[in-house]
Amino acid sequence: MAISALQRQQQLALLRYWRDHRCLNFPRGPVGKHNALTDVPGVRVGHSTLAQGEIQTGVTAIVPSHDNLFQKPLPCGVSVLNGFAKPTGLTQIDELGELQTPVLLSNTFAVGTLFTSLVKATLRDNPQLGRELPTVNPLVLECNDGWLNDIQALAVSEEMAQQALASASTRFARGSVGAGRGMSCFSLKGGIGTASRSLPALQATLGVLVLANFGTLDHLTLQGVRIGDRLAPLVPGLIPQKDAGSIIIVIATDAAVDARQLKRIARRAGAGLGRIGSYWGHGSGDIAVAFSTLRAESTVDETQIEPLLAAAADATEHAVVDALLSAEAVTGFRGHHRPALADLLDQLAAAL
């Protein structure tokens, strides 16, 4: 499809900025200290990665606090933007508004294994679970990494889940790591991305982590600029990707908000996806989960929630950009390949 002279000028300006600054981050508000989910105090992230030939997969753990979450659950809300997905735990969160476990991310066929891992982890701290105590509600979210990973190998293990949980830290890798190892995004290499926004009016922070595995190259939009048509000639043999495969968005904040408000905040992640070019196509499971680390008796007034809604959209957009720019190229199952966006932008910028 032909583009206008103005669009071409915008593309050139974007590429010049990339060449000169090696980043594409134009936030609409102040960012957190490290521009990461873990800028929210108490939140940690860990990975376990398998990169062995046709096995390209892994696990990512999001640990919301050091507390026993089963005994001290956090307020949590869920927004299912597009329901082509196989998660566990969303139904009870939607009903009760509580997060009882860390969040584990991986590929679609690993959900059962990760569910069991979280049950066992909760049992260690709560030995009467399922007897004198109620059962637990593990939260496991997935995307299909079957293009780059031999998903039938069922390579994800409980040991990997425990490794991801044990390694959780405030500083963590992004891109082609953990659950993001085998993920594709806009026909390029996707994976783990993150961003955060500081909210001075609320004396709070909002952070986002995405597992990005969605989008068609011709719809890719970076900072409002359609760029896919400039990238496509650089990868003539690229197998196109549909706007399918899914994205998981995990939002954390230390603002005083309840489960209903968190559901509203989670829904705004969809605005961020739209800005980067997603239309939530058939076959895509697009799910946003938002939790607060603050168990507050009183919550932010509804008229003051606007900064959180705007930050959720903005940080989601830039978390996807972060995933794309952080990811390294990967070749995996049956020789399938996904190139890195940063490498392609370098090629285009060098030709200016």
Neighbours of 17 (CB within 10 A): 17
Q: Tell me whether residue 246 is one of the annotated catalytic residues.
A: yes
Please tell me what DSSP assigns to residue 175.
B
Q: Which value, in Å, is the radius of gyration of the alpha carbons in the chain?
A: 19
What residues contact residue 233 under an 8 Å CB cut-off, 6+ apart? none
Catalytic residue among 65, 176, 196, 284: 284
Is 298 a residue of the active site?
Answer: no
Q: Which residue has the tokens 């190259």?
A: 217
Distance CA(194)–CA(210), nearest Å, equals 6
The single residue of 39, 254, 286, 322 carrying the catalytic annotation is 286
Q: DSSP for 198-233, please give it.
A: EEGGGTEEEEEEEEE----GGG-EETTEE-HHHHGG
| Exposed/middle/buried for residue 235 (C-beta within 10 Å: 0-12, 13-18, 19+) | middle
Distance CA 228, CA 37 (A): 28
- What are the tokens at 34? 């490290």
Number of neighbours of residue 53 by Cβ within 10 angstroms: 10
Which of 79, 176, 246, 278 is catalytic? The answer is 246
Known catalytic residue: 284?
Answer: yes
Which residues have a catalytic role annotated?
246, 284, 286
